Amino acid sequence: MSAPGTLAAALVEAAPLVAGVAGGRSLADRALAPAVLDLTYATLRRYGRLPAIVAALSRRRRPDALLEALLWCALYALESGRYADYAVVDQTVRACALLELWNAKGYVNAVLRGFLRQRPSIEARLAHDAQARFQHPLWWLEILRGAYPGGWEAIAHAGNVHPPMCLRVNRRRIGRADYAAKLAGQGIAAHEIGADGLLLERPLPVARVPGFDAGEVSVQDAGAQRAAHCLDLRAGQRVLDACAAPGGKSAHILELADVALTALDIDAQRAARIGRNLERLGLAPAHVVAGDACEPARWANGALYERILADVPCSASGIARRRPDVKWLRRAQDVPAFAVRQAQLLAALWPLLAPGGKLLYATCSVFPQENDAVVAAFIAAHGAARRLALPDGGAAQWLPQPQHDGFYYALIEKPA
């Protein structure tokens, strides 16, 4: 079991973050200490469940946001099995004092001890609450149920567990077999996945990944590693990576082929990270542009590209376990709104594709409304466009699995 002494401090940091997400604030790009990150993310993965438990146990009106979030975090700590039950109760009461929730100490103690006493009856009640049982919003579950009638429960379950950690070996620095041997030499178990990946048996902090600072590897999900291979790259091509920040797929493109790469992102601060990532990996520089892919007249200067990667903004429903705040932040109306934006991006990028060129449409979504529906509508509106089989031979839709997250790819060709 973990030492309890640090739990109160982690609760003090995690509870405001969880309360912020419940109130509509994203966790994107937040740098967190490992203990705080684990507590925050694991609590958020339990959407529906932890609020239902507090509601079942609380005899007062709904507690204020920070106190409620503290209870959610404490309940996760109890369920995790990492701490003795008495330690969680004690450390959460101490956290109340540190958060200046002086009058809540007795209430917190009563709720947590009540959960320990009444756990079987509470579990029986939660079994009849779909949102608590599957830990996703009801509208999300309805989309999954309609799209995947035989597998929606497994997809929902995949969104509630810790994500896998996969490394992408930089073939310009070291061979995959040699790097795997380096991992083995340090007692780090991994196995090959895809063309460049090594899936770690146990995740570890990036600071402990051998050769990371030297540019030998990057952390990238195996599903995301498909993108560069599905572009069907050739040396000398002009390539546009639209929506490129923070640059993981841009880097993979340059690892695979000597191309002239333009990396575009609408967020100037995030776009600045692309160059730093390429520099760490020892790759040729890209032409990094801060601009809106929907407004190419402002940045394209008449350029045409043989390959375009359109990794479009989406619901992130395929990576919910990695970005658990999306369960709390997304709304049902966001899905059709994303589909409209995605269609606009495709329409804006299509004129930039050279005759005979290929555009790869990519999302990290499992919602068909953002995937097949968008691509089908685009091809129907552009009679010359032709959808091709993916070069890696895989399916367009990858659903979340223990080895990888959920991603969607469609390769579209413009006639010569």
Give the residue numbers annotated as catalytic, written as ranges.
364
- Tokens coding 399: 């659903």
Burial class, 1, CB count within 10 angstroms (exposed 0-12 / middle 13-18 / buried 19+): exposed
Task: State whether the Cα torsion 88-111-69-321 is positive or negative.
Answer: positive
CA distance 359 to 397: 17
Q: What is the distance between the alpha carbons of residues 153 and 172, in angstroms, rounded to a whole number? A: 41
CB 346 within 8 A of CB 310: yes
CA 110 from centre of chain: 36
Judge residue 310's burial from the number of C-beta atoms within 10 Å of its C-beta, 0-12 exposed, 13-18 middle, 19 or more buried. Answer: buried
CA distance 16 to 73: 10
Angle between helices 105-126 and 65-80 (to 10 degrees): 60
